Amino acid sequence: MHRFDSPFGSVVLTRERKRHILIFHPDVASCLRYFSETLAAPERTIRSAYDPTVMICYRFLRRRRKYLAIVVKTGPHPFILTAYLAKKVKKDII
């Protein structure tokens, strides 16, 4: 289990969620080292259109020319739901 500082408090990445990310989004494996800085100071943050307690934190990765998107379930015990690479940021930036 890993913990990261974020605007939502200490965010947890469990083994199960890390496994999910590596299986369903294997291109993120080489981006795990950016999780800490992305969560500590996201370049952009939006609220999920489906769940108001879910936030998506973005950081542009120049070498990949894509955004690292980390999806966080906020609340008393925030945790990472998933992460993926995106060509663009979703609308409705907070």
Confidence band, pLDDT 50/70/90 cuts, at residue 91: confident
User: How is residue 13 written in tokens?
Assistant: 């990445």
pLDDT of residue 92: 65
Give this prediction's pTM.
Answer: 0.92
User: 3-state class of 49 per DSSP?
Assistant: coil
pLDDT-based confidence at residue 18 (cuts at 50, 70, 90)? very high
pLDDT the model gives residue 76: 94
Residue 77 has pLDDT above 60, yes or no: yes
27 phi and psi, to 5 degrees?
-65, -15
